[in-house]
Chain A
Amino acid sequence: MQIFPLPHDDSSPTLDAMRILVIEDDQEAAAYLTKALREAGHVADHAPDGLEGYALAREGAYDVLIVDRMLPKLDGLSVIRSLREQHVDTPVLILSALGQVDDRVKGLRAGGDDYLPKPYSFSELLARIEVLSRRRAAPTGEATTYRVGDLELDRLSHRVTRSGQEIILQPREFRLLEYLMRHAGQVVTRTMLLENVWDYHFDPQTNVIDVHVSRLRSKIDKGHERPLIQTIRGAGYMVRDSAH
C-alpha cells in the first residue's frame, strides 16, 4: 500500500534522480553522505534520529532509505520493522559499524534489503542504492530476455548471442553476465557480484572477481568493435552499449 505516487515512471528504468532519505545520527557522516548523493544528481534528505527518520520515511515518497543501525531514540532495525508493519516497502540499505556475519542476517531479517558495513566507499553505496531503487521500479515480471546493444541473453534457454552468433558460457559465467545485464547501465561492484553470483559476503583478498569478469569479457567482447562490459574505475563494472 503506497499512498503517494512513485516519483519514478515505471516504464522507464533509466537512472532518474532518486529521492533518498539518510537516517544517520553522526552529523559529519550525514553531511558527507547527503552532499555526495546530491553531487551524484540525487535528492537527499537527512533525519538525525530514529523517530524523525521513521516519520519522514512514512510520509515522504522516497525511493531509497539509508538507515544507520545505531540511532538515538529508535534504533535502525526498529525503524525498519515499524515501517514494514505500516506497509511502507521503500527499499532500505542498512549501514552498520558492526559488520559481522550474524549482524547482516539480523538486518535483513528486520526487513532491510541490503546491508553495507561501515566504513564504506561511496561508490559502493551509490551502486547499491541504484540497484535497490531500480529493483523497486521494476519489481516483478522480469524479462526473459536481456538485450544490450547486439548482445542478447535468453534466461529460459540459457542462450547468449552477440550479433546473432552464439557464445558458449560456463554456468557461472552465464549467471555473471545475467546479473550484469539485469543491471545494464548501472555500476555493479565486485562485492555485489560476489554476493549475487556466488552468494558469499566476505571480502575476497585477491582479485578473483576481476579475473572472472575479464574471462567473461574475453568471450563477449573479443573481436567486437564496441566493448560492452566496461570497467568503472574505483567502483566496479557496467554493461552498457557505449554508442548510446
Chain B
Amino acid sequence: MTALTKLFKTTAFRLSVAYLLVFALFAGFILGYVAWNARQVLDDQIQGTIEAEITGLAEQYRLGGIRRLVGVIDRRTREPSASLYLVTTNAGERLAGNVGSLPAGVLDDPGVRETDYRQSDEPDAHIRRALVRVFILPGGFRLLVGRDVEERERLGAVIRQALGLSLGLVTILACLGGWFVTRRVLKRVDAMTETTRTIMAGDLDGRLAVSGNGDELDRLATNLNAMLDRIGELMSGMKEVSDNIAHDLKTPLTRLRNRAEEALRTAKAPEDYARALEGTIDESDNLIRVFNALLMIARLEAGNAATTMADFDLSEVARSVAELYDAVADEASVPLAVEIEPDLSLHGNRELVGQALANLLDNALKYGVATEGEPACPPSITIAAKRVGEHVEISVADRGPGIPESARGHVLERFARLEAARSRPGFGLGLSLVAAVARLHGGELRLEDNSPGLKAVLALPAKPA
C-alpha cells in the first residue's frame, strides 16, 4: 500500500473530503442567493427608471405630438449616462434615438423585454444587452425606451468570480487541513500499530505512547494500556499457577507415591495395606483440596464468577459464618466476639464471601492463638462488620503473634507460609483466596496490626442505597 492510497483510505481524509463538499455547497448556495437577489433588485431599479422615462415622454407627446417627442429624445440622448431611446416611423426609418441596430421584429412587438442592441454611433460596436419597452404610437410611429444592463452583467461576473475564488480557496484549505490532520493522526496511529505489533510478537512489556493532551487517541491508548496491564496480570497469574503446581504439588504427589511404594515393599498383613491405602486416600483428598483452591483462585482472578453476582445480606453471612466457627473457638477455649451491624447489603457472591470469612476465621483459629514459647496474651478473636463510607468492612482480629509488616505482602501470595506456621497444617492458599474474592468484588484485603495480633480487613464496596 503506497503512502498516498493509505492516506486516501484514512477516516480523517474521508472526513476532510466530506467537509470540503459541505462547505463548497454552502459557499455556492450563499453566493448564488446573493447574485439572484442583486439581479432582482437591479432589474426592479431599471424597470423603475424606464417607467419614469416613459411617464415623462408621454407627457411631452401629449403636449406636442411626435415632433416634440423627437426633440426631447434628441436632447436627452446627449446627456451623459442617458437611457436608450429610439423613435422610428412605421416603415422603420429612424427619427431620433441612440440605439443603432436591433434584432428584427423587436419594434413590431409592444411590451417589455430584454434584447441585444448596438449603439448608434459605433457601427461595429459589440452587441450589448438592454431591457426595453416598445410602444406603437398613433400613426405607426414606434417608440423604444430602455436601459443598458451591462452593469448588471458585470455584477454577475464579479459574483461568479467570487464563487470560483472561494471554492478554490475552500478546496485548497480543506485539502491542506485534511492532509495535516490526517498526517498527524496517521503518524500516531502508525506508532500505535507498530507498538501493538511488537507486543503481539511477544514483547508484553511494551506500552502505547500517551501524548498527554487527553484527546480520543490518548483515551484509546490509555485504555489499551490498561487492557495490556490486565492481560499481563492474568498471564503472570497463569504462570504463577503453573509454577506453583510444579513446585508445591509435586511434594505431596511424591509423598503419595512413596507411601504406596513402601506399602508394596514392606506390608505383610492386610491391615498394613488397609492403613497404607487410607493414608493414600487422605493424601489425595488433600491434593484435591489444593487443586480446587488453586483453580478457584485462578477462576476468580479471571473474573469468571461475576456472572453469579446477586444482592445479599452480608450481616446474615457474617453472623452465620461466625456461628459456624463459634463452636470450634469454644472448643479451643478462645472467646469469639461478634460485632456485626445489621442490614449490611452487598452485591456479590454470597458463597464466596462466606468462604472468605470462613478462611479468615480458620486462619485466626489456626495461627492467631499463641502457642508455647510465644508471648502470652489471652487469646481472643473478634469478627466485626460495619459500614465505612462507601465500603463494608468485615474484619477478623486475633491476639496471636501477628504478621510482621514486611511479610504482609508475601503472605497473600499463593502457597506462602511463614516459617512459624510451617509446622502446622495448611497449604498457604487461604489468604490468597480471600484476596482473590476481594478483588473479584472490587474490594481489597488489608492486613493490619492488632497490636498484638493480626487484623485482617476485607473491604468490599457497599451496594449503593
Contact = CB atoms under 8 A, between A and B. Distances in A.
B19 interface: no
A102 B355 contact: no
Given A202-B358, A205-B362, A102 B307 contact: yes
Interface string B94-135: 000000000000000000000000000000000000000000
Interface string A194-226: 000011111111111001100100000000000
A200 B316 CA distance: 12
A198 to B, nearest CB: 6
B337 interface: no
A206 B365 contact: yes
Contacts of A105: 308
B74 to A, nearest CB: 110
Contact of B327 (A102, A203, A205, A208): A208
Contacts of A203: 289, 292
B234 interface: no
Contacts of A205: 289, 359, 362, 426, 430
Nearest to B354: A200
A49 B354 CA distance: 37
Contacts of A198: 320, 324
Given A200-B351, A203-B292, A204-B358, A102 B324 contact: no
Contacts of B308: 101-102, 105
Contact of B351 (A101, A117, A207, A208): A101
B352 interface: yes
Nearest to A213: B327
Contacts of B305: 100-102
A100 B304 contact: yes
Interface in A102-126: 102, 105, 117, 119, 121
B329 to A, nearest CB: 9
Contacts of A100: 295-296, 299, 304-305
Contacts of B141: none
Nearest to B281: A121
A99 B289 CA distance: 11
A70 to B, nearest CB: 16
A100 B366 CA distance: 26
Contact of A101 (B323, B352, B366, B430): B352
B405 interface: no
B256 to A, nearest CB: 14
B354 A211 contact: no
Nearest to B306: A102
Contacts of B351: 101, 200-202
B304 A211 contact: no
A172 interface: yes
A204 B358 CA distance: 7
B421 interface: no
Interface residues of A, number: 23
Contact of B355 (A117, A119, A200, A206): A200
A134 B269 CA distance: 40
Interface string B352-384: 101100110010011000000000000000000
A211 B365 contact: no
Contacts of B349: 101
B304 A102 contact: yes
A238 B417 CA distance: 38
A211 B331 contact: yes
A212 B281 CA distance: 25
B314 to A, nearest CB: 14
A99 B328 contact: no
A172 B323 contact: yes
Contact of A204 (B288, B296, B299, B324): B324
B93 to A, nearest CB: 111
B330 to A, nearest CB: 8
Contacts of B304: 100, 102
B325 interface: yes
A223 B305 CA distance: 49
Contacts of A215: 327
A198 B320 CA distance: 7
Most chain-A CB neighbours within 10 Å: which of B288, B321, B325?
B288
Contacts of B323: 172
Nearest to A203: B289
Of B285, B295, B328, B362, most A-chain CB atoms within 10 Å: B328
Contacts of B288: 119
A199 B351 CA distance: 9
Interface string B276-297: 0000010011001100100110
Interface string A89-103: 000000000011110
Given A101-B351, A102-B305, A206 B328 contact: yes
Interface in B248-265: none
Contacts of A207: 328
Interface in A148-205: 172, 198-205
A99 B351 CA distance: 13
A101 B305 CA distance: 7
A100 B308 CA distance: 11
A202 B366 CA distance: 18
Q: Which of A101, A119, A199, A207 is the most central at the interface, judged by chain B CB atoms within 10 Å of its CB?
A: A101
A100 B305 CA distance: 8
Contacts of A201: 351
B348 to A, nearest CB: 11
A213 to B, nearest CB: 9
Interface in B304-340: 304-305, 307-308, 320-321, 323-325, 327-328, 331
Contacts of B365: 206
Given A172-B323, A211-B328, 4 more contacts: A121-B285, A202-B358, A203-B289, A208-B328
5 contacts: A100-B304, A101-B352, A102-B305, A119-B288, A207-B328
- Sort A-B residue pairs by CB-CB distance and give the 7 closest, nearest first: A202-B355, A211-B327, A102-B308, A211-B328, A212-B327, A200-B354, A101-B305
Interface of B: 281, 284-285, 288-289, 292, 295-296, 299, 304-305, 307-308, 320-321, 323-325, 327-328, 331, 349, 351-352, 354-355, 358-359, 362, 365-366, 426, 430
